[in-house]
Amino acid sequence: MTKALLSAPPVALTIAGSDCSCGAGAQADLKTFGALGVYGLTAITCIVSEVPGRVELVAAVKPDVLRSQIRLLFQAYPVGVVKTGMLYSRALVRVVSEELADHLGTFRLVVDPVMVASSGDPLLKSDAVRAYEEELLPLADLITPNLDEATVLLGRKITTRRAMLPAARELREKFGAAVLLKGGHLRGREAVDVLASVGGEEELILPRLPQRETHGTGCTLAAAVAAGLAHGRALRPAIIAAKKYLHRSMAQQWEWRRGPNKTRALRHL
């Protein structure tokens, strides 16, 4: 039998934590990569025992374990895009920065600076923030902080839609990368994000969906952007497509609710 010659899918690497509920972290990234036609690789930073609304335990891998994963994957695969998620500690941020610096110019980097879970549980040690600022963020093509993460990076709170534009601009100037500042935590009838890039600042707006019990939306959005970049899209079109993908996914999500006698599966349509 003759093997058919098929064009290989682009390859993207996510460096992130493992979420046992598969709604966030590396599992969410892999689902997104697969749905968008990208072959996904993982370098796991932490094992996280969590479900929507609750983080019970975080166990970080040893730095050498993370370093080995990244090195081996770059040796074996044509990694076109890297997306980082939960890095947890200063030591792990440093490993990621060092390993990626050795391959600069061969891939594009999307950094989702995961610091706090949707439940409010911390996902980054306080001493790791400086390592992010000095070692990893300057390597990025795109940074995707939410308002809480932008507060940490800027040292002041961003609490209004009006404050998002100057905050995104300041982050871009500070780290030299495009910034997608996510405003999902703000109230209102619209979900507003701000993109700050070489073209200036602009609001990206979609209708806000009714209340959902979600976690991992930031992971999914950043992974979808990475998938678009892996397919060769320019940054802005990749972000627009990623926002639409996330919006569709949230509109059709499954939700499991435990009752007195059984668990019910509900789907939002």
* pLDDT digits 0-9 by tens, 215-266: 788 999 999 999 999 999 999 999 999 999 998 887 776 665 665 655 555 5
- Burial 193-227, CB ≥16 within 10 A → b, else e: bbbbbeeebeebeeeeeeeeebbbbbbbbbbbbbb
Under 8 Å between Cβ of 79 and 11: yes
pTM, 2 dp: 0.90
* pLDDT for residue 205: 87
Q: Which superfamily does CATH assign the domain made up of 11-251 to?
A: Ribokinase (3.40.1190.20)
Give the angle 247-49-83 at the CA atoms, nearest 5°. 50
Report residue 117 CA to chain centroid gap.
12
Confidence band for 126, pLDDT divided at 50, 70 and 90 = confident
Could you tell me whether strands 142-143 and 178-182 are parallel, antiparallel, or unpaired per DSSP bridges? Answer: parallel
pLDDT digits (tens, 9 = 90+) for 164-216: 999 999 999 999 999 999 987 777 678 889 999 998 999 998 877 766 556 78
Indicate the helix (H) or strand (E) that contains 41.
strand 39-51
Positions marked active-site: 182, 214, 216-219
Give domain limits for the chain: 11-251
> If phi over 0 gives left and psi between -120 and 50 gives alpha, with beta otherwise, what is residue 105?
left
For residue 232, what are its two tokens?
Answer: 């060769």
